[in-house]
Chains A and B, each alone.
Chain A
Amino acid sequence: MSIWINESSKVLVQGITGGQGTFHATRMTEYGTDVVGGVTPGKGGQVVDLPGRSVPVYDTMGQAVSETNADVSVIYVPARFAAAAIVEAADAFNEIKGEGLIVCITEGIPILDMIRCVGHISEMPGIRLIGPNCPGIITPGENGGCKVGIMPGYIHAKGRIGIISKSGTLTYEAVAQTMSVGEGQTTCIGIGGDPISGTGFIDCLAAFEEDPETEAVVMIGEIGGTAEEDAAAWAADNFSKPIVGFVAGATAPPGKRMGHAGAIISGGKGTAEEKFSAFEKAGIHIARDPSKIGEVLVSVLIEAGLREP
């Protein structure tokens, strides 16, 4: 088991004929993802060659979903067109299937565009958006698996740890930490570092709670906003599995944007200290050094009787 995607998920690539789209569609296919087609307006009817298969390009998401019966769409289109691509995907999945997962990798989408998108999708209970400005989602399988995004697939292995993170490379670090102590992952989700985004920590935790194969979770936050505090408070009441947490940005100066659009301490709020202490209060096991996530995870698993000392 896993959450939201698995080895049988059928995936469309929006922006498949662009440089990024073709590159990552290739990498995803190599990993084992079932890429069934792509969308680029004006390029319908073309074919894109991927490892071991050629997939059709459609003009619209409506055509693509109807023809391929895809479950997932991943968006690699430039920032100024990305919000429209998200809405198009949401409408197509909602009208044709009543459900669908949209993963938006694009960085730099205007904030008000995202407010409109998130509002639009909130009226569609079967539609889930991950991102934007994120590495995507991956479910490692027995042979390959399903990778929807830009993460290096080979660092992952199937296992029992769920990973949620706002950051890209720091997610990879967390994955490597689980691997260094012999633990694999059920599903890893990069929720992105933008101020306005789709899926949040709580959505992921709720899904991991329901997933019988996920036995523990690693949660990586960063400065800015209060999503970590809210998730910690929610987890204290609703999450039964152990969580290991880290927050990036303890040394970040207030009022300065640290790379990600959302990573900013404003008006004294959103500090790493507040988030660490919210984690501790909620019974989340914290690692102050991300190189120690593996170590903390092992002690937590032992304590929970999930691993031999």
Chain B
Amino acid sequence: MNIHEYQGKALFREEGVAVQEGVHCTTVDQALEAYDSLGSKIVAVKSQIHAGGRGKGNLYCPDTGDLQMEGGVKIALSRDEVETYSKNILGNILVTKQSGPEGKVVNNLYIEAGCEIAHEYYLALLVDREEDAILVMASTEGGVDIEEVAETTPQAIHKAWTDSSGKLPTGADSAMADSLGLTGVSKDSFKEMLGRLVSMFVSRDCSMVEINPLVRAGDGAMIALDSKISFDDNASFRHPWRAEMRDLSEEEEVEIRANKSGLSYVKLDGNIGCLVNGAGLAMASMDVIKLYGGEPANFLDIGGGANKESITTAFGIILEDPNVEGILVNIFGGIIRCDMVARSIIDASREVGLSVPLVVRFSGTNHEEGRDVLEESSLEVTTVGTLADGAKAIVAATVGVDA
């Protein structure tokens, strides 16, 4: 689960991580009030969407598609500028390097007091799956794309790892401050912030905290000028406060719906729908469709606890996508029995009015019974024995649709 910058900064404030004063707004009037209340002549007007790269993104009008403004984060030097920028941001679509070409509608703004910047740094905490630890990464190259820094000047990125209880080794904070060239007040300020961030990462079950830029202000203090926080969804049960922070408009509605039925669904751009049990097999099914010349329309894992209801929901979700011209079902029965899946397919196809070609591959538990159930039904379906045959059959059937 991801949260907005303004929510991340509220958490930072609670945890004692230094941030500038700022106000979350959803209207232009609120933005103007915020400007008045902040008492800072210079403010940042920041679009709030979950994708990164907001500063270099562009805003488009949702109706006409016209470019509204370049840059999703603006420095305003006057009340009038706050008004202009807020109008150009709210309700418009922000397209960034990370948002995908369709972009995101901006419903939230953050008005933040300006800050005298002596230098911009990068700081991030994330789970290092290779080291089984929390990794702290810092760089003197802040405010830019960290992946580019990693590519061009990897020596500019400094790393430290926690132990398995989530504590940095003694002296690691000082060493990191030194490697960033921080001294005096700035070094103390950095060490304090890092300590608070590490304990917040653990106590709130984060999976990533990124501050880009982290700035050294004119007076030497270190301030988190940005915040990008992701939480580990598996730990949500012990953090009920997260529910209020969830912005459903940032998530794919269909993925949420799929999730509620125990399905794992990701929409893709192709024309062949897939319904598979198991995440690895679901990916492999997409790969094989592509290998034989087709384009998968989705990833869909029906999970180990699938039943008639969830399979019906799965068919419904696949067919909501107007690009779908055929469906490949690939089931390797283990706990799930293929004959149960076969009966569910028949019921589901009646319920949702299946009108595209259907290819079914059963293997494992009760695969023969499953095939018999399908073949004895009135459903128009091609049954095959292997995934490769299934992929070839559905690709052939959907090419037919195009022609």
Contacts and interface: CB of A to CB of B under 8 A. Distances in A.
A43 interface: no
B192 interface: no
A167 B278 contact: yes
A152 B389 CA distance: 23
Interface in A95-135: 108-116, 118-120, 122, 135
B266 A291 contact: no
A252 interface: yes
Interface in B270-304: 276-284, 286-291, 296, 299, 301, 304
B299 A259 contact: yes
Contact of B333 (A152, A250, A255, A258): A152
Given A167-B280, A250-B290, A195 B387 contact: no
B334 A115 contact: no
| SS class, residues of chain B in contact with chain A | mixed
A119 B131 CA distance: 10
Interface stretch (B65-73, B217-225, B230-238): B230-238
Nearest to B292: A289
Contact of A79 (B132, B234, B296): B234
B129 A172 contact: no
A128 B127 CA distance: 22
Interface in A172-227: 172-173, 176, 193, 195-196, 220, 222-227
Contact of A115 (B166, B238, B286): B166
Range class of the A interface residue count: 35 or more
A236 interface: no
A297 B144 CA distance: 47
Residue with the highest number of chain A CB atoms closer than 10 Å, among B284, B332, B389: B284
Contact of B280 (A115, A152, A169): A169
Interface string A87-98: 000000000000
A65 interface: no
Interface string A219-253: 01011111100100000000000000010111111
B12 to A, nearest CB: 19
B363 interface: yes
A196 B364 contact: no
Contact of B279 (A79, A115, A258, A268): A258
Contacts of A251: 268, 283, 286-287, 289-290, 296
A195 B286 contact: no
A124 to B, nearest CB: 13
B268 A262 contact: no
A151 interface: yes
B130 interface: yes
A45 interface: no
Contact of A249 (B283, B334, B389): B283
B280 to A, nearest CB: 2
Given A172-B332, A258-B266, A291 B234 contact: no
A307 interface: no
Nearest to A269: B147
A91 to B, nearest CB: 15
A267 B266 CA distance: 19
Nearest to A27: B335
Contact of B235 (A110, A196, A291): A110
A298 interface: no
B127 A291 contact: no
A260 interface: yes
A258 B164 contact: no
Given A119-B165, A251-B283, A252-B299, A225 B237 contact: no
A233 to B, nearest CB: 13
B388 interface: yes
A64 interface: no
Contacts of A119: 132-133, 163-165
A112 B166 contact: yes
B291 A289 contact: yes
Contact of B283 (A113, A152, A227, A258): A258
B280 A267 contact: no
Contact of B387 (A165, A227, A290): A290
Contacts of B163: 119
A225 B129 contact: yes
B130 A225 contact: yes
B98 interface: yes
B388 to A, nearest CB: 4
Nearest to A108: B234
A291 B387 contact: yes
Given A172-B364, A195-B127, A253-B266, A115 B133 contact: yes
Given A167-B279, A227-B130, 14 more contacts: A80-B238, A114-B132, A172-B334, A173-B332, A173-B363, A196-B127, A222-B280, A224-B129, A249-B283, A251-B289, A258-B279, A259-B280, A261-B234, A289-B288
25 contacts: A80-B237, A110-B234, A114-B132, A115-B127, A118-B132, A122-B164, A150-B304, A166-B280, A168-B281, A172-B332, A172-B334, A173-B284, A193-B280, A196-B129, A223-B283, A224-B129, A249-B287, A251-B290, A259-B282, A260-B280, A263-B283, A268-B147, A272-B287, A288-B291, A291-B288
Interface of A: 79-80, 108-116, 118-120, 122, 135, 150-152, 155, 165-173, 176, 193, 195-196, 220, 222-227, 230, 246, 248-253, 255-263, 267-268, 272, 288-292
Closest 8 CB pairs between A and B? A119-B164, A167-B280, A259-B279, A169-B278, A170-B280, A291-B388, A110-B235, A248-B283
Interface of B: 98, 127, 129-130, 132-134, 147, 150, 163-166, 202, 205, 207, 232, 234-235, 237-238, 264, 266, 268, 276-284, 286-291, 296, 299, 301, 304, 332-335, 363-365, 386-389
